[in-house]
Structure 1
Amino acid sequence: MKKIYAIALLGLMVLGLAATASAADIKATGKWQIEATMQNADFLDKGAVSEDKTFNIEQRVRTAFQFIANENLKGVLDLQIGSANWGTGAFSIGAGRSGNLTGTGSLAAGNGNIMLRKGYVDFKWPNTKVNFLVGFQTVSLPAAFGGGSAILDDQVAAAVVSTPITDNVKLLAGYARPYDANSAYATTAGNLTGAGTSTDVVFAAVPLDFKGVNITPFAAYASIGSTTAGAMTGGTALPGLATGNSSATEGARAYWGGVAATVTALDNFKFMADFNYGKATYNQGGNSNGGRAGWMADIAVDYTGLKMMTPSAFFVYSSGEKGNSTDGNSDGSHRMPSLGNPQNWAVGSFFFGDRNFINPVPANAGYVQRVMGFWTAGVSLKDIKIFDKMSHTAHLLYVKGTNDKKFLTENTGGNINVAGVANYGGFLTTKDSLWEIDFNTKYMIYDELAVNLDLGYINADFDKDVWGSSSKTNAADLRNYGSADAYSARLGVAYSF
């Protein structure tokens, strides 16, 4: 009899758990991508050793779940497997079956382990319109053009609050901690203790939304610890903050400000413009001149009056480095600092990256934090529709550097190659330029399944005398083999649901 009661009690517990689990509605979304890539994107002639000249098939699986309690409360869990090439990492034989014997922390879980992209709670304060996002989430500062912010646009641990002030004015503010080297789960040896191990960021934006006009001013401040990037690694070694006169023991104080504006008041025209400024001052024991400061601005216009396509024209300018002969570089770097690795900012779909594909360019080029110090002008024909279920996009752009060529040979401070500060193929001097042309095609097999074919070509002119006489990354290859144009052909399927 007691066994019957025990079984009945267990059954009631299971039913209770099932009822608890069904209290939240679950909605799944995601994007699963498999892509074949053939490209030469290092701008080096034949003979130079380069992995990106090989043929690769990459895969990335992103799946997100919303656990919806009601219209005022939900939890979001976003997971990812990959990105990795077929045959390596998450997509090799045995991936995930056993731990990585050479790794610690999360690396010991095996090569096929799942990565957390987002995990946060989204809720409104009762009886108000004040909304909170608390947890690991995507934080992006305002941007009208380019697809995302060039300062901060990444997944980060944060708490964000937003509320309407009037029908046309909204307030958004938040706190984020993008880095903390003091972690029991650190994948590098030597957990750190004490002050200086973390980076703390506060930010705010005020969207002003009127009929046909949206203007959003914003500001951000970061306190960056001297060992924030990892065990015995300074905060100024982070990619978006590093420069020629930084060292591994320094932290920094940084701030940014800017405005994003979109105007649609004129029929058939959409105008977009951004202005961003940032400054990072290094903690150098009294040397207040050390650091990094610069700006970036853009303007673009779309013509929306055509049914078969949307023509667009744009211009972008960012400040660049000066040479020692000009000012001794005593006032630091002249490129705008950034936090993290801005994931979405791009013009064209090759040199600056491509939001549709997984890894379109090698690490030494492409990402805006590494190529900052340029100007570009171009035109795009977006969403060309001639055949049913098929669309095309074409880009033509010219890019030229704004960095002084003397910066490569005359800068004598620090490790200038750290995190791609001045890598050949990504850093453009005033003597370097390139033309890019892209033609991208998307065919919808089903409403949720697309086949993408992206073709890109870059005619590059990197000054051999400038780069060949330097000691920067790949300079020896340039001296030995010379420069070359870049090409990219990418074919993939993307299942979005």
Structure 2
Amino acid sequence: MKKRIALSLALLAGLAMGATTANAADIKATGSWQVDAVFSGDNFFSGAPTNQKTVTIEQRIRTSFQFIANENLKGVLEVQYGPGAWGGTEGLRLGDNGAGRGAASTADNALHLRKAYIDFNWPGTKNRFLVGHQSLSLPAAFGSGSAILDHHMSAAAAIIPITDSISLVGGYTRPYDGNNDGTTTTNNDHGTSADAVFLYSNMKFSGFSVNPFLAYLNAGANVLGANSGATTGLAGMDAPGVGSDNGLRSYWAGTSFNVTVLDPFKIRGDINYGKATYNVGSNNDSGRSGWLADLAVEYTGLSMMTPEVFFVYSSGEDGTTGKSERMPVLRTQNWGVGSFWMQGGSSTINRNNSAESSLGFWAAGLSLKDIKLIDKLSHTFNVIYFKGTNDKDIISATGLTAAANYGRMLTEKDSLVEIDLNSKYMIYDELSLGLELGYIFTDFDKNVWAAAGSSDIIDQNAYKAAFMLNYSF
């Protein structure tokens, strides 16, 4: 009896091993492991004690796995540990920041799932489908990403080739859901989700490419939880003076473009427009609408560097309540100009002035990119002038607090000059040592911000020095 049982177990084990072997997937791992030491001062320009000189040491471990069945099918899993600050009792100071599943996936200070999706081609075609939690972005040529939609979120997307030069990309995503379904408190209200659809075209021809796009969002009145709607719960969709939480409908249209026919000159740019209408009963005029455009010209004829000049403009508030003249923003994490005032640096410590909070400015700048004077050592130098396009009375007239907006929202009376020098030394092909230096000269209108209720506006300059060790594989 024991022999028969042992034989049966052996046969089952053999069958299981055979099945496992028959369905085994090749595993490919990639990642970026980074440790930062950041010295910074007066990053909120107020000189308040909490914003004075700080030294922070953090690390972030980002690892991605591809489970490849064949050339037409794979699964992708990416996890991130941190950023976690040194100094905790177990070595790193980690923990959930309380953002919850309905929020914008900002719990970066803990171990979390960054991507998990299935990537496959439909049999017999080149039509590609990606289903699950993935990276989504509308087309963008400048600014390191889209200023409208550029984040990780649950979605179903399709890439359909039309010709050798044209393909269509479209899909559906649910970036927010206020019904936590047992994670915290189940929300039984109506309108708990935000649902969006998008469509854009990749059109590449000899000497130029263009990427027109459309996107539409419908967000409920309880999208971030009971009585927590999109109009005030989502920073990129709110308007000054909107006192209640409501749902909304929003659409975006625009294009990005790249021109290389004038080589060694290359031109790239973006034109974005968006409009959000709030569901607030009889007051149908409330909402948010605006635009953003940028243009960059670089010269690639030099071997030691690539000079670039650029200009960015985004519409700003006119000082009235109930309606915003800034472009609505769904969710973005990579868009930025420069590498200090706005998000855009390689270090994990940044002001995080994303498009959700800082639109309403124009900027002109010069970059000297990929400066190579010594083997394995490269530099990028930026000098940028920022000027606000928001009406000077926007803060006091609409009740927005200076504490939440000073240093992030620029009025027409405010300006900044940012100077960056970012360097990278390649120790090995996979290991780099970086140093980011930044300084911001400020010119805020003290009368504007003092009238808005801030008592510590002293127009302080800011600086940072970030050391980075990065292992990429």
Alignment partner, residue 61 of structure 1: 61
Q: Determine the C-alpha separation between the residues in 2 that align with 1:89 and 1:314.
A: 46
Aligned Cα RMSD in Å?
2.4
Using the aligned pairs only, state the percent identity.
Answer: 49
Alignment partner, residue 190 of structure 2: 195
Superimposed CA distance per residue, residues 370-396 of structure 1 (whole angstroms, 9 cap, x where no aligned partner): 110000000000000010110000000
Q: TM-score, normalised by structure 2?
A: 0.93
Alignment partner, residue 115 of structure 1: 112
Deviation at 1:367, TM superposition (A): 1.6
2:324 pairs, out of 329, 333, 337, with 333
Letter in structure 1 aligned against 2:136: V
Check conservation: 2:83, 2:109, Cα contact below 8 A.
no
Deviation at 1:89, TM superposition (A): 9.7
Deviation at 1:476, TM superposition (A): 2.5
Q: Which range is displaced more, 162-171 or 242-251?
A: 242-251
Alignment partner, residue 36 of structure 1: 37
Q: Determine the C-alpha separation between the residues in 2 that align with 1:352 and 1:314.
A: 15
1:410 pairs, out of 369, 384, 397, with 397
**Structure 1 residue 349 corresponds to structure 2 residue 351:** no
Alignment partner, residue 141 of structure 2: 144
Check conservation: 2:38, 2:349, Cα contact below 8 A.
no
Deviation at 1:368, TM superposition (A): 2.1
**Structure 1 residue 462 corresponds to structure 2 residue 444:** yes
Alignment partner, residue 492 of structure 1: 468
**Structure 1 residue 374 corresponds to structure 2 residue 353:** no
**Structure 1 residue 171 corresponds to structure 2 residue 168:** yes
Q: Determine the C-alpha separation between the residues in 1 that align with 2:318 and 2:100.
A: 42
SS in 2 for 1:85: strand
**Structure 1 residue 213 corresponds to structure 2 residue 208:** yes
Superimposed CA distance per residue, residues 429-453 of structure 1 (whole angstroms, 9 cap, x where no aligned partner): 0000011100011000000000010
Check conservation: 1:234, 1:247, Cα contact below 8 A.
no
Deviation at 1:35, TM superposition (A): 0.1
**Structure 1 residue 27 corresponds to structure 2 residue 22:** no
- The structure-2 alpha-carbon separation of the partners of 1:491 and 1:387, relative to structure 1 and needing over 3 Å to count, comes to same
Q: In the TM superposition, what are the counterparts of 1:280-299 in structure 2 within 5 Å?
A: 280-299=276-295
Q: Determine the C-alpha separation between the residues in 2 that align with 1:436 and 1:133.
A: 39
Deviation at 1:359, TM superposition (A): 2.3
Q: Determine the C-alpha separation between the residues in 1 that align with 2:339 and 2:89.
A: 26
Q: Determine the C-alpha separation between the residues in 1 that align with 2:171 and 2:348.
A: 29
SS in 1 for 2:449: helix
Q: In the TM superposition, what are the counterparts of 1:317-328 in structure 2 within 5 Å?
A: 317-324=313-320
SS in 2 for 1:50: helix
- The structure-2 alpha-carbon separation of the partners of 1:53 and 1:283, relative to structure 1 and needing over 3 Å to count, comes to farther
Segments of 4+ moved more than 3 angstroms? 41-46, 88-93, 102-106, 110-113
1:16 pairs, out of 11, 15, 18, with 18
Alignment partner, residue 84 of structure 1: 84
- The structure-2 alpha-carbon separation of the partners of 1:431 and 1:160, relative to structure 1 and needing over 3 Å to count, comes to same
Superimposed CA distance per residue, residues 147-190 of structure 1 (whole angstroms, 9 cap, x where no aligned partner): 11000000010011111112222111110000011122434xx3
SS in 1 for 2:379: strand
Alignment partner, residue 477 of structure 1: 456
**Structure 1 residue 261 corresponds to structure 2 residue 257:** yes
SS in 2 for 1:476: coil
- The structure-2 alpha-carbon separation of the partners of 1:103 and 1:360, relative to structure 1 and needing over 3 Å to count, comes to closer
Q: Determine the C-alpha separation between the residues in 2 that align with 1:248 and 1:6.
A: 67
Aligned length: 465
1:303 pairs, out of 294, 299, 324, with 299
Alignment partner, residue 436 of structure 1: 418
- The structure-2 alpha-carbon separation of the partners of 1:430 and 1:470, relative to structure 1 and needing over 3 Å to count, comes to same
- The structure-2 alpha-carbon separation of the partners of 1:248 and 1:156, relative to structure 1 and needing over 3 Å to count, comes to farther
Q: Determine the C-alpha separation between the residues in 2 that align with 1:457 and 1:439.
A: 9
Q: In the TM superposition, what are the counterparts of 1:439-450 in structure 2 within 5 Å?
A: 439-450=421-432
Q: Determine the C-alpha separation between the residues in 2 that align with 1:176 and 1:60.
A: 27
Superimposed CA distance per residue, residues 281-330 of structure 1 (whole angstroms, 9 cap, x where no aligned partner): 11111211111111000000110111111000000000000124xxxx45
Check conservation: 1:44, 1:477, Cα contact below 8 A.
no
SS in 2 for 1:386: strand
Q: Determine the C-alpha separation between the residues in 2 that align with 1:55 and 1:42.
A: 12
SS in 1 for 2:447: helix
SS in 1 for 2:113: strand
Alignment partner, residue 129 of structure 2: 132
Deviation at 1:267, TM superposition (A): 1.8
Q: Determine the C-alpha separation between the residues in 2 that align with 1:28 and 1:468.
A: 53
Superimposed CA distance per residue, residues 84-131 of structure 1 (whole angstroms, 9 cap, x where no aligned partner): 2112498537x69xxx8x99999xxx9986301111111111111111
Superimposed CA distance per residue, residues 460-487 of structure 1 (whole angstroms, 9 cap, x where no aligned partner): 001100001103xxx2221xxx120010
SS in 1 for 2:373: coil
Alignment partner, residue 388 of structure 1: 375
Q: Determine the C-alpha separation between the residues in 2 that align with 1:78 and 1:380.
A: 33
Q: Determine the C-alpha separation between the residues in 1 that align with 2:99 and 2:254.
A: 41
1:156 pairs, out of 153, 156, 170, with 153
Check conservation: 2:401, 2:452, Cα contact below 8 A.
no
SS in 1 for 2:116: strand
Letter in structure 1 aligned against 2:54: T
Deviation at 1:245, TM superposition (A): 2.7
Alignment partner, residue 308 of structure 2: 312
Q: Determine the C-alpha separation between the residues in 2 that align with 1:90 and 1:159.
A: 39
- The structure-2 alpha-carbon separation of the partners of 1:262 and 1:181, relative to structure 1 and needing over 3 Å to count, comes to same
Deviation at 1:42, TM superposition (A): 3.2
Letter in structure 2 aligned against 1:4: A
Deviation at 1:61, TM superposition (A): 0.7
- The structure-2 alpha-carbon separation of the partners of 1:400 and 1:73, relative to structure 1 and needing over 3 Å to count, comes to same
Higher strand share: 2
Deviation at 1:52, TM superposition (A): 6.4
- The structure-2 alpha-carbon separation of the partners of 1:356 and 1:127, relative to structure 1 and needing over 3 Å to count, comes to same
Check conservation: 1:89, 1:112, Cα contact below 8 A.
no
SS in 1 for 2:394: helix
Deviation at 1:146, TM superposition (A): 1.0
Q: Determine the C-alpha separation between the residues in 2 that align with 1:204 and 1:146.
A: 21
